[in-house]
Amino acid sequence: MKKPTWLRKRLFLSKESEETERMIAELELHTVCSSALCPNRSECFGRKRATFMILGNVCTRRCAFCGVSKGTPWPPDAGEPERIAAALNRLKIEYAVITSVTRDDLPDRGSAAFAATISAVKKAGPETKVEVLTPDFGGERRFVADVIKEGPLVFNHNLETVSRLYPTVRPQAGYQRSLGVLRAAKEAGAAFTKSGLMLGLGEEKEEVIEALCDLKAAGCDIVTLGQYLRPTRANIPVARFVSPDEFEEFRMEALEAGFKACASGPFVRSSYFAEDLFGSIKPADKKFTAGWPSAII
């Protein structure tokens, strides 16, 4: 399908983006920006921003929408958390976003690596705010709780698509399982929970509204909606391109449903301007769990 005018985006090639890529390579780290072929990566690298991806760049699942490599991953790298912390300091990032591939091969599904990374980041920069974007950990609530114990500001787990499309888009995942992960995060004491949907996979408007309602019922505070763009020919084709006006309608629906913040647009991704999205939450809506100082508002 030919992309409409609103999906044409120029590359932001700059000295800053080259420096960011070089530093990431020097520290032997991975980003979802590059591994998932994100259309915003040159822009974000140019702003000295990146979403770091722990536990390697090979995923054990084969989601139809994702551009990350699939197969048998390497064992976890014990030195990775400290290198992530070093990268954040070098980039002067005060709001960090950490994600990972899905590691169904590990007994703890990768939860310990998230906990260790949050700990290392906070040790290196106590004022650094951390948002994690996790896989579903097989639906194990104890693994979710292990991550929450380290005190991420935002716990993000993407629903990705509507219930009807799960067998095609996310055959190794589960719609109710993902909602359960978000509920478990809230019950474990997460300060804020977040999730995201990709549009343009064949969903109907009513199904998107239903998914938003399900997320809200699961205690989700923040939501993102963006256009699915096929990363490679091996991935599921785009069913349609959602117009900017439709994205704005969904944003209003989300806010009316009670979400504290919503980013909705063709180029929106889970971590795209994540700090700004969190900052858009009204002070009155920033209700923290025990131990969270009001100074982080």
Q: Using the 8-state DSSP alphabet, how is residue 31 labeled? A: B
Q: What is the pLDDT of residue 240?
A: 96
Give the CA angle between residues 209, 214, 216 to the nearest 5°.
Answer: 95
Nearest to 168 by CA among 140, 216, 202, 142: 202
Tokens matching residue 26: 């020097």
Q: What is the pLDDT of residue 287?
A: 63
Radius of gyration for the chain, computed over Cα atoms and rounded to the nearest angstrom: 18
Express each pLDDT in 247-260 by its tens digit.
Answer: 999 999 999 999 99
Tokens matching residue 49: 């921003």
- For 155, the 3-state DSSP assignment is strand
Helices vs. strands in the chain: H and E counts, helices first? 11, 9
Q: How far is CA 166 from CA 65, 114, 202, in A?
A: 11, 26, 11
Q: Residue written as tokens 């500001």?
A: 153
Counting Cα atoms < 13 Å in the Cβ hemisphere of 105 gives 14
Q: What is the pLDDT of residue 40?
A: 67
Q: What is the pLDDT of residue 119?
A: 97
Q: What is the pLDDT along the chain (297 residues), one digit of tens a residue?
A: 788 998 887 766 778 888 888 898 999 999 877 766 777 677 777 777 788 999 999 999 999 999 889 999 999 999 999 999 999 999 999 999 999 999 999 999 999 999 999 999 999 999 999 999 999 999 999 999 999 999 999 999 999 999 999 999 999 999 999 999 999 999 999 999 999 999 999 999 999 999 999 999 999 999 999 999 998 999 999 999 999 999 999 999 999 999 999 999 999 998 888 999 999 999 988 865 434 443 333
Tokens matching residue 43: 């822009």
In the chain, what are the domains? 12-281 (3.20.20.70)
Question: Phi and psi of 196, rounded to 5°?
Answer: -145, 155
- pTM higher than the cut 0.85: yes
- For residues 288, 194, 119, 35, the Cα torsion angle rounded to the nearest 10 degrees is -160
- For 42, the 3-state DSSP assignment is helix
Q: What is the pLDDT of residue 12?
A: 67
Q: What is the pLDDT of residue 139?
A: 97
Q: How far is CA 58 from CA 32, 98, 102, in A?
A: 11, 16, 8
Amino acid 176 reads: Q
